[in-house]
Every structure is written in C-alpha cells, then in structure tokens.
Amino acid sequence: MVLVFVCLFVFFDEAVLLRRGTVFRVPSGQKLIAITFDDGPSPVWTPRILAALKEADIKATFFMLGAHAELYPDIAKSVAEDGHEIGNHSYDHHVLLSYSDEALTNEIMRADKAIAEATGRPTKLFRPPKAWLTQHEKAVVNGLGYTVVLWSLNSKDWVTFDDEYLVPYLDKQARSGDIVLFHDSGGVFTAEGGDRHETVKTIPQVVKRLRARGYRFVTVGELLESSRQPLPR
C-alpha cells in the first residue's frame, strides 16, 4: 500500500481532476506553448532559471507566492524586469479548500499586494496551490477579476527527475496550446527550497527540441489572447 501511495504521489497529476472551470490548455491552430513556474521567487533558483530562459530567448509566466515576494523583492523585481509575466499563487501556499469567501479573498489580495509592491505589476492570473479549489471558490476568484490557470503538462520537476528523462518526456507529450508546469522553488513537502538543477538543464533542451518542431513559446496571457485572434493566413 505504501508503494502504491508513493507511486500515485509521484506520477499521478491531481490537476486532471480539477480542471473544470479553469484554463489548463488553450487549443489553437498555431503551435504555441506556455511555460510556467510556481512557488517562487527563490534567491537560489529563480536567477538561474531566468538565465536559462534568457539563453533560450523565451518569456514565461511566474506564479509567485506573496510571502516569497516579500522575502525576496529584488528577485521578484528581476523577473518582471526580464519581461516575464507575473501570476498569483496565493500568499503562503496553503491549500485553499474550505476557506470562507472572505478568507479566500484576503489570501489572494494579500498576495497581490505583496507581488505588486515587489514587481510593480498587479496580478490577474491565479493558480491555486496543489491545484485545489472547489467550484464555488473558483467562482469567487473569477469574481475578483482573476482567471484560474492550471496546466496540461506537468514536468514533476519537484521530484528532481533527471533531465535525461524530463526532456524526451516533455518533447513527446507536448501539444499545441499546452501550459507546462515547472517550479522555481519548493520541495516535496515545503513551499520553499528544493533542488532545481534538472529544471535549469531541461529548459534550453526542451525549447530547442520543440522549436525544431515548429513550436513558439509564449506567456499564458499571450496564449489566451491567441485564442481570441483570427488565425494568420
């Protein structure tokens, strides 16, 4: 039983059960993919990931924790200054199930305030910790002017899979309109820490492979906007 639980914990993506009422993939006639990062900013890993993104010449979407933006405002600011999109990942990464409407609103707006003070940008995209939100909570979040964003392709990089596994897996599974989940902070049981060596190594390799197949990398906002535009001739 323990082995079964561990395998489910490591390999099963609970987000597939929670996608109703969220954006998790944006079907498009164009070959577009959005890469996202959760749990940062981190003084250790975010700068290295920013360097990898700059090397690959792509922009990504960072779903920040308000508490981490307060702790590391200079790192948060550098994400914005590099031209990446900023999203809200709650204030302190508590699972939000069973929150009252008032508590949920306070959690999100407290995070927004901290992130905006650090980056100079308000947030309009929200990703719940662990993907968990009830349908009612999703409606509350939408009422605050947020779009709830999950993902269609999970790197599971917090497990610290080797890039020799991650790169071919993501290359094989990627489809147009995917939103890919990575992390720039967070351990198996903590919201901060973890080891992102393999994430840093994976990014430029995946970008190179998918570009060779005709994919273009965009932010979540750009991916959403593409679905509202007529296809190019």
Q: Which residues are catalytic?
A: 38, 183
137-to-56, 110, 117 alpha-carbon distances in Å: 37, 17, 26
SS3 at position 101: helix
What is the 8-class DSSP label of residue 25? B
Q: Are 122 and 64 in contact (CB under 8 A)?
A: no
Instruction: Look up residue 203 and give its amino acid.
Output: I
> Phi then psi for 43, rounded to 5 degrees?
-70, -20
Q: Which residues contact 118 (CB under 8 A, 6 or more apart)?
A: 69, 70, 72, 73, 76, 77
- CA angle 90-72-78, nearest 5°? 95
DSSP β-bridge partners for residue 5 = none
Q: Which two tokens stand for residue 49?
A: 């990931």
**What residues contact 217, with CB distance under 8 A and at least 6 apart?**
32, 33, 34, 35, 56, 58, 59, 60, 207, 210, 211
